[in-house]
Each structure stands twice: as C-alpha cells, then as structure tokens.
Chains A and B, each alone.
Chain A
Amino acid sequence: MSDTPAQTVPFVRDTMLPPAPPPASQAGALRWLRENLLSGPLNIALTLLGIGAVWYLLQGIVPWLAHSVWSADNLTQCRQIITDRWGEGATGACWAVIRERWTQFLFGFYPQHLYWRPTLAFALLFVALAPVLFARVPKKLLWFSVAYPFVAFWLLWGGSLFLPLTVAAGFGLGWAAFALLHRFGTIPAVAAAVLLPVLWWLLFAGDLSRDLTGLVGREVPFWLEQVRSDKFGGFVLAITIGVAGIALSLPLGIMLALGRQSDMFLIKTLAVSFIEFIRGVPLITLLFTASLLLNYFLPPGTTFDIILRVIIMVTLFAAAYIAEVIRGGLAALPRGQYEAADALGLDYWKAQRLIILPQALKISIPGIVSTFIGMFKDTTLVVFVGLLDPLKGITDAVRASTDWKGIYWEPYIFVGAIFFIFNFAMSRYSMHLERRLKTDHRQE
C-alpha cells in the first residue's frame, strides 16, 4: 500500500503562468436590466409597481412645476394667471411669493438698508473657514479665523467696536496668563487663564468699552448702527445660531468625551451626568429654559440676549451628542496606541493632542457631521421661544399677509432647498475629509 493515490504522479512546474486578463465583461444594458430588475416573477411585479409609483408622483409634480408662475402681486392673481394659461382646474407653482419675499426668508426683519452687513459676514465666513477646512489654504489665514467671531458679531449686531474688542482682549488676557504661568504647573496656569478673563469681563470690560465709546463718539469706524436681536430672522438667524453652535460644540464635546474617559472620579461623574442629563431632555425643554427660566435665576435687571441664550443651549445640546460620538472613536482605538504614546514619554495632553484625538476624530467624522447637520436643522425649533426661524417663523409671517394667504408648498420647498444645500455641502465635505485623512490602506 502506498501513501499516495495511484493516479498521483510527481509533478514539478517548469514554467510559471503569466497573469491573464479576466474574462471579457458580458455586461450590457439588457443584461443589467434582466439581472437587476427582471430576474424573477416577484422582481418583475415589484419593478412594475415601482414604475407605477414613480409615474403617479411625476404626474402630479411635473405639470405643477411646468405651470410655474414667477411674477404676480398676490396669490389670487397668480392663480388667475395659471387658469388663464392652462385652463380651468390646472395646478401650478406660484414662485412669485419667493421672488417678492426672498429677502425676508434670508434676513428676517433685519433693517433693509443694512442687508450688506449679514451678507458681508456670510462671505467672510468662507474666508474664515477656508484655512480650517482645507489643507492647501495658507495657515496664516487662521489668524482671520480667530478674529472672525468678533468681526461677525460686530457686523451682525452693530454697536460699538469696543465691545467685541474688549471681549477679545479678555481671551488675549487668558492666553497670556496661561503662557506666563505655564512653567509653574498646569493647574495654576489653567485657573489663571479662566479666572482672569472672567474677572476682566465682569469688572472692567463693560465700563472700558463704554468709556472708549464715549471718548470717540458714535462715529462710523468705531460704531455701527445697532440691530436688536428681535430683528433677526430667517436664514441670518439659522446660520448665526448654527455656525456658532457648531464652532463651540466641537471643542466642548471633545472635552466632555475626554472627561468621560478620565480616571478622575469627580471629572468623570460631572461629564457623565452632564451628557446623560442633556441627552435625556428634549431640545425644546432646554430652549424654554433658556427663554423663560433663566430670567428667574439671573439678578433682576440683567438683560441677557435671547440669541446668545439659545446659542448656549444649542451648543450644550450638540456637545453632549458629539461627546458620545467621539467616545465611540476613542473606544475604537487599540490600547496599543495609548501605550506607545505613554512609552515614548508623552504626557496626557500631548498624547491626546498628537496621537489619540487625531485618530479618534477621524473615525468620528461621519457621526460628528451628522450631529452638526441635525443641529443646523434643529435651529428651526427656536420658533418656540419667539424667534423667527426660516421654516415656520418667516413662512407663517408670509402666509399671514393678505397677499399670500393660502399659499402652502412654495415657501416650504424654498426653505427646504436652502437647508438641503447647506447640509449636502457639509455631508460632501465630510466625505472629502475622510478621503483626505485616509492613511491606513494607501496601497490600493
């Protein structure tokens, strides 16, 4: 009996096979159709049903869009034009309402002669974002990104130039205190960096700003016409809250996520309670708290801008979600990354900044951007605290006018389309960023 079966013959390959091309593709339109749509009786039925559904929808929408009217003074006139052109019973979109009221959707009740200010602030937003978002933009522009919040504040609300300047000086003071005291240890440096600016804002900033304004008078380079918060509305409001919320909630979310992972009991407990509390209540509850309850807690007579309050609440809300998203990213990192950073002698903050967070944030990009998109859409909820959001606040205002009473789809489609543009852009950017940061499997 032999170990090998009888038919096995010793074999040695003497020539290696060259790689051969794959079999020529048999794909064609018909083949694709058959495989994807008509592969069996059930699929044939479903395909037909799908075509029917699409046909039914298009039948309603296409004529309505085709019969669009772009200029009319009011809804009655608009409907008259449609009836005249396409006969009795014809439906059509009345975009004339957008043509007449688009400024209101964009600017709310912001004074008309000052429209240039939010427009300029919006344009500058892209300049400020460029160095943050794109690697190829020179990093020196980051200085403008740092200054942008103060510039935008001044442009949007107006008033004295010295108010944003003294507020900014507070941040400068904190930074200087940190830089000077850093050598004496992290704790005194951080304490000074927090306390000094707060004292500055509470005790000196207001008076200094007022005195300086009094000194130079309400002249143009130092003074812009003031616009009160209740004049804000539409997309100026949504974008102000959205951008501020996004910019503030990311760092706060990172700190919360790190806090939740901390070994220190007190910090961990604070972070966990904060996150669980904020995620546990609806955003509207927080907004109501911001608009009503805060007045009870603040000393009487304090005026605390409603938009600022809403921004704080939206920020806290988004930060709690972002913290959890980032915690997922942190948990996905192998322990070896922490150990390698430790073994090289990096301290906690350097390890986080250079090793852990760049990787954890990269993993969390889709979740973070989802949270941002959700938050931007949630800015429409400010209608419940009396602010004029674009979706309901402004749309209701338009529909309440005698001219456009009864109009329904067009304003919502317009507002929806603008939201879509912003959110789709964010979504595409996040995909771009994921591709750019992809360093793990470059051999493709």
Chain B
Amino acid sequence: MSEVIDRRIDRSHMQVSDEVAIQISRMNKWYGSFHVLRDIDMTVHKGERIVICGPSGSGKSTLIRCINRLEEHQSGKIVVDGIELTSDLKNINKVRSEVGMVFQHFNLFPHLTILENCTLAPIWVRKTPKREADEVAMHFLKKVKIPEQAHKYPGQLSGGQQQRVAIARSLCMKPRIMLFDEPTSALDPEMIKEVLDTMIELAEEGMTMLCVTHEMGFAQAVANRVIFMDQGQIVEQNEPAEFFRNPRSDRTKLFLSQILGH
C-alpha cells in the first residue's frame, strides 16, 4: 500500500497548534438544484495535514475549492485565516493570496517560462521587486529539484515536473495554507512519487495542508486526519491509523475495500 513512500518521515516540525486556520460551519452548496455540499462543519488547525477522500462526485474537490472561493457557497460560513469569505472581492483576493492551490491538471501558464510562472503573482499581487521575486522563485524551484528548468516553458516538462513547478509557484506566494486537488491523478505512475515526495517535504516543514487524493500511502504516512466524504457530506473522519484499521461506517468500508483490496 505504501510502496511510494519509501523513507522515514521527519515529524519534528509537524506540530498542530491550537490556532484555527480554517473554520467552516453549516456550509451548503448547490449546483443549480443539485445539493453538492450538505451542512459541512469542519475546523482545520494550523499545522494540520488533512487528506480528504471519497468516491467521485462526493463533493471533496468542491469542498476545497470553496475554501479559496473558486466555488461560491450558498449558505453557512467559511472563515479562512480570520477572514470570512463573502462576495467582497477584496477579501477573496486576500484569502487567495494566503492560500496556495495545486490542481489536478497543473494549470501552469503555457505562454510563460517556468520562472515567470513562479514570479508572476509575487510581482503583480504582492508587489515584490522582480529581482527578489526571481530569487524566491529559484529558491523554491531548487526545493522541488528543478532549478535547471527555470527558463523552459511548461510544454517542455514532464507531468511530474510540471506539477512540482505548480507547487513551487504556489509556494512563491508564501501561503499559510496549501490546498491540493488530486495532485497526482493525472500523472503516470512513475511520476507520482516525485510529486508526493515534494508534498511530504512540505508537510515536514509544518505547512497546513488539505489534500484531496487517493494516495492512501501518503495519507497514512503524513496525514494527521483523514476525512471520508460521500454524497456531499462528511461521513467519517479519524486519524489515519484508526481510519484504515477500523473504518466504522459501511460506506467507508466499501470505499476502502474498493481502492485498497485487489
């Protein structure tokens, strides 16, 4: 199950604080008349690494996309880093610049070089001087182990490399929270590991992370909490060891048997 995680995790910096990073209460969302998210209540503390899993269509992606308001919720309350998400554009952009997001299909900007992809938001949103932004970008590109690709275009990189660039691009904004929306689902098997390694490093540094993923090995090794969703609701949540050893609801058992048992 965890053959992709082949190293010891350094847990010295993985500390969950009492400080609340994200507070979601009684949140509901509809697509037209379809009720996608139903009465979601969730508190994320600073430093938590949460893995959200569930069958497709269960609303897990929609949930994390609500956190930076790529999707609008219709009732309830979402407070991110002390800022409530309303239709106020200023608040939304403030939250978005504090919350990094990594997408399934990378969504790098194909007309910009890797370096430009990484410096664009710091320069235009944070008003960082270009030189400083370049330095920061190179620092993070080194961290994801592709500084030599800085002047290439996304189309010249492999999927795994592109996803690592996407992670570096988010990190350049120095976010407090990182959202991962199925970051390895579009990758070939041999590239999944390099992306997961990058995510593990991030977790080791104490980043608050919410990951929608089916990489149960990653969940077991890194997460402090696993949330299982179905039909727009949180069905079960527990710490990973308990979650995998002792799933309580039938839906969770069915889901786990489908993705783990072969």
Contacts and interface: CB of A to CB of B under 8 A. Distances in A.
Interface of A: 334, 336-337, 339-340, 342-347, 350, 354-355, 358-359, 362, 437, 439-443
Contacts of A350: 124-125
Nearest to B122: A344
Contacts of A359: 109-111
Nearest to B166: A340
- Contact count band on B: 20 to 34
Contact of B155 (A337, A344, A442): A442
Interface string B95-119: 0110111010111111110000000
Given A337-B109, A340-B108, A440-B110, A345 B121 contact: yes
A339 B70 contact: yes
B208 interface: no
Contacts of B106: 336
Contacts of B111: 358-359, 362, 437, 439
Contacts of A337: 107, 109
A354 B107 contact: no
Interface string B147-167: 000001101100000000000
Interface string B35-58: 000000000000000000000000
23 contacts: A334-B105, A334-B107, A336-B106, A339-B103, A340-B103, A340-B108, A340-B109, A343-B68, A343-B101, A345-B125, A346-B121, A346-B124, A346-B125, A347-B93, A350-B125, A354-B124, A359-B111, A439-B110, A440-B110, A442-B152, A442-B153, A442-B155, A442-B156
Given A354-B120, A439-B110, A442-B155, A344 B125 contact: yes
A439 B125 contact: no
B22 interface: no
Contact of A344 (B89, B97, B110, B112): B97
Contacts, number: 76
A337 B155 CA distance: 14
B173 interface: yes
Given A439-B155, A441-B155, A345 B97 contact: yes
Q: Which 6 A-B pairs have the closest CB atoms?
A: A345-B97, A340-B107, A336-B107, A344-B121, A345-B96, A343-B101
A4 to B, nearest CB: 24
Given A343-B96, A345-B97, A443 B156 contact: yes
Given A345-B173, A443-B156, 8 more contacts: A339-B107, A342-B68, A344-B121, A346-B120, A350-B124, A362-B111, A442-B155, A442-B156
Nearest to A348: B89
A414 B86 CA distance: 65
A337 B105 CA distance: 10
A339 B106 CA distance: 11
B185 to A, nearest CB: 14
Nearest to A340: B107
A358 to B, nearest CB: 5
Contacts of A345: 93-94, 96-97, 121, 125, 173
Contacts of B121: 344-346
A346 B125 CA distance: 6
